[in-house]
Amino acid sequence: MRKTLPFNLRVLDYVIILVAVAITVATAVLLYGGKAASLQVVVEGSGKTWIFPIGSEETLQVPGPIGTTVVRIHDKQTWIESSPCHNQLCVAAGKIDRADQWVACLPNKVFVRIKGKKSDEGPDWSTW
């Protein structure tokens, strides 16, 4: 084998490098590993907060100052199905399914967002 370095690495050099690689890989796996499974839907309204895993099946009636906003969680997506507001922007906002996306009904003070780690899968449709 051709000698590439003009000195010899010693036993512990290899051990230390291996340990360092192991620590690096372990932190990467630990931190970036358990992906989208941990996404949660956070629904806030009238001073209360509800948290559901995104995989759950829920139809939530959230009371607000002007009536009841209906939030649906279904098939790993969540959206506002109906709301008593007159512009219906929140309903038009459609479905959200990724970390840090949100949809809100301002007149009825209901805020729905998805909490969790961002996964890099797929394009970012909001800027694409």
Q: Amino acid identity of 29?
A: V
- Single out the residue of 43, 52, 53 nearest to residue 81, CA to CA: 43
Query: Closest distance between another protein and the C-beta of residue 61, in Å?
Result: 33
Query: Closest distance between another protein and the C-beta of residue 19, in Å?
Result: 8
Single out the residue of 1, 3, 12, 127 in contact with another protein (rule: CB under 8 A): 12
- Please say which residue, 13 or 75, places its beta carbon nearer to another protein: 13
Q: Is 32 in the site for another protein (CB under 8 A)?
A: yes
- Please say which residue, 1 or 11, places its beta carbon nearer to another protein: 11
Residue 119 C-alpha from the chain's centroid: 7
Count of residues engaged in binding another protein, rule: CB under 8 A: 20
Reduce the DSSP state of residue 11 to 3 states and report it: helix
Q: Is 13 in the site for another protein (CB under 8 A)?
A: yes
How far is the CA of 14 from the CAs of 6, 18, 21, 31, in angstroms? Answer: 17, 6, 10, 26
- Helix residue spans in the chain (DSSP H): 11-32, 89-92
Single out the residue of 1, 3, 8, 57 in contact with another protein (rule: CB under 8 A): 8
- Please say which residue, 20 or 37, places its beta carbon nearer to another protein: 20
CB atoms within 10 A of CB 89: 15
Instruction: Name the site residues for another protein (rule: CB under 8 A).
Output: 5-13, 15-17, 20-21, 23-24, 27-28, 31-32
